[in-house]
Structures are given as C-alpha cells and as structure tokens.
Amino acid sequence: MTIRFLFSIVLIILCAACVDRITFDVGSSPSFAIVIDGSISDQPGPYKILVTKAFDIESKLSIKTPISVKRILMSDNLGNNEVLSEVTQGEYQTSPNGIRGTIGRAYKIQIELLDGRIYESVPDTLYPSGSVDSLYHTFKEEKTTEGATNYGFDVFFNSSAGDQNSYYFLWQFVGTFQVETHPELYTEPCGEGRCPKPLPCSSYVLGSNGFEYVKVCECCACWSNLFNDEVIVSDNQLVNNGRFTAVKASYVPINRWTFGFKVYAQVNQMSLSRQSFSFWKAVKSQKSATTSLFQPVTGKIPSNFIQTNGPSGPIEGIFFATSIYNKGIFITQRDIPNPSIIPISDLTFNDNCINLFPNSTTEKPPFWTD
C-alpha cells in the first residue's frame, strides 16, 4: 500500500469544502498561514507532504493553493534524515529507497519557507497497527423521499489492537471498481455535425478503410476508488478486551458503474499516537457538527507544529507516523439478491476513462483478479 491511500482521506476532508468544511482559525498575522498534510508509515515509500496556503472562507480565493518552500527535512529520533524533493508545486516526497517508517521510532519534519519562517512538527511515535480480523458486508435497500429505491452494501469489520496498551486508531475504507469506456468512438465538431476521431490512447485510428486496429487500448479500462466520507477513529473507551467489533466502514452504492464488474472493499487500520488521535478526533467532531453550509463549526483542530524561526505566521495541519494493516474482500454481482436491480444504460462514454471518475488509474491494481 502506498502513501496515496493515507493522503486520500486527508485530501477529501480538507478539499471537499463544498459540502463539509474544516475551518482553521488562523487569526490575524502579517504572514500568510500555511497548512501541512503528511505522514510516514511502515509501508514502502515514497512518503508525501502537501504544503498549501491557507484561505479565507469568505473570499473568492481557491480552496487550496499549493506553494513551494525552501526545504522539507524528515528525520527520526536515531539521527536518520532525508531532504524531500518537490514533484509538483507544493507536493514533496521522499525517494522510494529513502527513509522508512519503523515501529517504535519517533518522526518529525522541519519546514523552511521562502520568507525565512521555520516550523517543526512535534515528534510522533510509530505504534503497531494491530490487525483487521474480518471484513463483511450486508445488502441494503432504502426508499428515498421521492419514492425511488437505492440499493447498496454496508461494509463492516472486526479488528484487534494486538499486544499493546494503546488503542488509538484511524480506519480508512477504499472501494475499487473497474470501468470501461470506448475512446475509439470519440468525435469532434465537423461542419454542422460531428466526425469520428479516435483518441490517440484508444485501440484504433481512422484510416482510408475505416477504423484500423493499431495497438492495445491504453485508456479503455480504469480502476476508480471510493473513500469513506467520515473520519472513523476509536480510543480506549470503545475497545472491548482489545477488540473492535461490527464497526461500519462505509457504504457501497449499486449502480451501473460500481457493479459493472465488481468492487474490491478494503479497510486500512492505522495506528495513532495520542497527539495524532487528538487531531483526527477533532476533525471527526467538526465534521459531525457541521450539517449545513450555514451551521458554525465547533472547536479548534489542534496542530502539532511549532515555529522556531522567522516572522510570526500561523501553521495548521498534521504530520504523523503510522503503522498500517489492510484487509480486503470482493463484493460481486453474485452477492446482489436480484442482479436485475443493477441499472442498465444505453449511454456510451467515448472519452478517456480517466476523465469519467476522480481517483482513477489505468494501472491494474495488484489485488485485482479478472
């Protein structure tokens, strides 16, 4: 599992401001505020750090504004360190063979801004992940207020903390499904109508004798990810003899796309320190309290950064260390009591499959079986 799974939950929470907002109270300062999203795990790197400029929710500025910095240094308590490289503006990462998270060690990052400000995260200890013991689903049928019926699956899991006294965990759900499109049928304006023009990534070109097959299609099949829209955390008060039982991970809707083939449902159990748990608990509380765009948020989300140099300027966000255990199962059409409820549409999508859904890739996941 790569760090993009860890980042997925952060980006959804901080960027989906059109529905649920997480508001950082940055106060007033002559220096602009920045927000940091990042982590290190015991899974193979590279690990990523995202640096964005904070925004005024009443202004017309973009929700996220990535910014470049002078340097980001990641280190542990044994003296190992690595300077991260900027891959795109505001996105920094370690090398694939660079620093690696190890259980029991503490990690931090130091960030130097171009205006001379320097921030450091409070060292965060990487604790064992425990394990996801079982994963299961139940079919769900629900009437809407308009009289329609929605179908889907609730996904649940049982897990254990393992041999430890710390029961701070963050759980993430990732649902992967396959979609297929027909970019060879792409058209473009031509006179008063449209003329066929297969996309370069498709299997075909338009020759003098019609469509000619030239190569394997590079954009006909995609695998797209769904993520849980809630922050799922637990603590010592919710554990029973070191076990968590019947915890709902997410809901998977049944539609023409998700169950065109099948869905791979995966739960990632991520260990947290007490300080990183406080951050995610606050995020959960704020999202739970915010039920509309006009309801005020409650409480302040804690940050684990301190400023060590430069003109005073606020910083929010988190850098944390985590151990990850993941478990997944396939939900297939055979699990649907009546497969005829899967919607069928005559609509043909004739574009690159990447453009159909966010969080998509043309690279077949290693866990996917045909």
- What integer pLDDT is reported at residue 237 of this predicted model? 60
Residue 121: C-alpha distances to residues 47, 129, 254 (Å):
16, 22, 42
| Pairing verdict, β 305-309 and 118-121 | antiparallel
- What integer pLDDT is reported at residue 160 of this predicted model? 92
- What integer pLDDT is reported at residue 64 of this predicted model? 66
- What integer pLDDT is reported at residue 234 of this predicted model? 86
Radius of gyration of the chain (CA): 23
Tens-level pLDDT at each residue, the chain (370 residues): 444 434 444 443 443 333 344 444 444 445 788 999 999 999 998 999 999 987 654 444 445 689 999 999 999 999 999 999 999 999 999 999 999 999 999 999 999 999 999 999 999 999 999 999 999 999 999 988 888 899 999 999 999 987 667 789 999 999 999 999 999 888 889 888 888 888 889 887 777 777 777 888 999 999 999 998 888 998 666 677 788 999 999 999 999 899 999 999 999 999 999 999 999 998 888 877 655 444 444 456 778 899 999 999 889 899 999 999 999 999 999 999 998 898 887 778 888 999 988 889 999 999 999 8
- What integer pLDDT is reported at residue 289 of this predicted model? 65
- What integer pLDDT is reported at residue 10 of this predicted model? 44
Q: What is the pTM of this model?
A: 0.81
- What integer pLDDT is reported at residue 290 of this predicted model? 57
Cα–Cα distance measured from residue 273 to residue 126, given in angstroms and rounded to the nearest whole number:
7
Among 292, 297, 295, smallest CA distance to 282 is for: 297
341: tokens are 């409820």
- What integer pLDDT is reported at residue 13 of this predicted model? 41
2: tokens are 């790569």
Q: Would you put residue 79 in left (φ > 0), alpha (ψ -120 to 50) or beta?
A: left
57: tokens are 């929710």
6: tokens are 């860890």
Length of the chain counted residue by residue: 370
